[in-house]
Amino acid sequence: MPEPNVHGLANIQRTMSLLASSSPAARKRVRLLFYGQSITQSGWSRTVAQELARRYPHADLEVENRAIGGFAADYLVKAAESDLYSYYPDLVVFHVYGAHGPYEDIIRRLRERTTAEILLQTDHVTSEDDLDEERDPARLASDHGSYAAFMSYAFLPALAATYSAAVCDQRTAWKQYLRAQKLPAAALLSDHVHLNAAGDALMAALVLRCLRHAPEAAPSPLERAVTTLRLDGRGGSRVVEFEGNRVDAVTGGRGVARVRIDGKPPSSFRELYGFSRARVNGALWPPLYDIAAEAALLAEDWTLQVDRALGEEARYTFELFGSRSGRDGRGDSRRRFVSRSRRVVIEPDDWNIEYAFELAGFARVPPHFTINFQAEPHFADSVRAAEAGAGKEHIVTLAQGLPEGVHRLELSASEGEVPVAALRIYRPLASPARVRGSGQ
């Protein structure tokens, strides 16, 4: 099996160190997200997740795959608003086709909004013509020659260097494997691009070789982006000043504490809510992007009852219902919509109905359908002690999505004592900061 080169191996070592240092007495929580399109939905990602769980049995490993088949970078950059940043993973394994501008937008926003480490994947081989392609970055360009070669050997290494990411060069290793086994590219494919079982097995093996713990590597720059502040002693209150966009509580002791940030309950910050992926008739592909709000949100389920306009292509009328806001207005897909409560705003270019139904296998958009989405809280107005199980941390996210700047966190016991043993502060590298507080 060829050994893939990893550009920027140090840049995923915070995650790999968490996995490797986990023990029965200290089970570190690690959140892994696979993101991209149909290649990432393939079976190799499940194999990778299963093998990591086997290799690191004491880690508290959480894995999700939110890839969307058919969504190249031009589409995925919009879907990422609901899917990617809100999950706030420790590590993202990422591959997508499409324009390199939106690709960079996704990675830049990951770096601005989260502390996630990032493993980028080069394209696999789909044709014998790929075997002898140009690999010199100085001789590759997006507007001539092989776009896959440009992305794999010029764009992605430069992107990784800019945003402190790592690149798994599976493309070169894929070529080595095909040559060594004397196989045509089609031997690992189910069609012109998707992987068959053998292709899945090879992809899993190559990605796992990239996801390796390297104690000899330089420290990951993301190490300084996440700080754990231990709260010593007991008492009825704690005050901490910090810079970052997220703060978690690691619970300990007994009691219940009220949470205030900058003198307000977290629920009063509009930035601490997010909208989930919209779904049409329960299908995977989002029919709406970038749902916004003008007023303070509530945790709420939303439903759009949509009708296709008779005799007009790509035009829809709808009525909006909120589980807490009730009947919240009627609209037209060709006009900007602001709901009566101002908790939902939909722009004309947010609609993606035709493509969503096409990918779902519909020959034509049905005359009536339902779109569902949620306003989700990323905060807690109070924190309660809880048992997490042997060696595991019980973690409560107090606030995620805070605006840049210094924030003041106050924890006040309403029952017993403040049940927080430590705070974990997350500050994206695009907003350098430091923890300045202490328990009191």
Q: Indicate the average pLDDT of the chain.
A: 93
Q: What is the pLDDT of residue 68?
A: 96
Q: For 368, left (φ over 0), alpha (ψ -120 to 50), or beta?
A: beta
Whole-angstrom distance, CA of residue 2 vs CA of residue 170:
9
Q: Domains (ranges, CATH) in the chain?
A: 5-219 (3.40.50.1110), 225-266+379-426 (2.60.120.260), 271-377 (no CATH)
Q: What's the pLDDT at 439? A: 37
Rg (CA), the chain: 24
Tell me: the pLDDT tens digits for 299-341?
Answer: 999 999 999 988 777 899 999 999 999 999 999 999 999 999 9
Burial pattern 357-373, b for ≥16 Cβ within 10 A else e, equals: bebeeeeebeeebebeb
Tell me what pLDDT residue 431 has.
53
Report the candidate in 68, 61, 110, 57 with the shortest Cα–Cα distance to residue 85: 110
**Pairing relation of β-strands 29-36 and 91-95?**
parallel
The segments of the chain whose pLDDT lies below 50 read 432-440
**So what's the pLDDT on residue 313?**
79
CA distance 330 to 93: 40
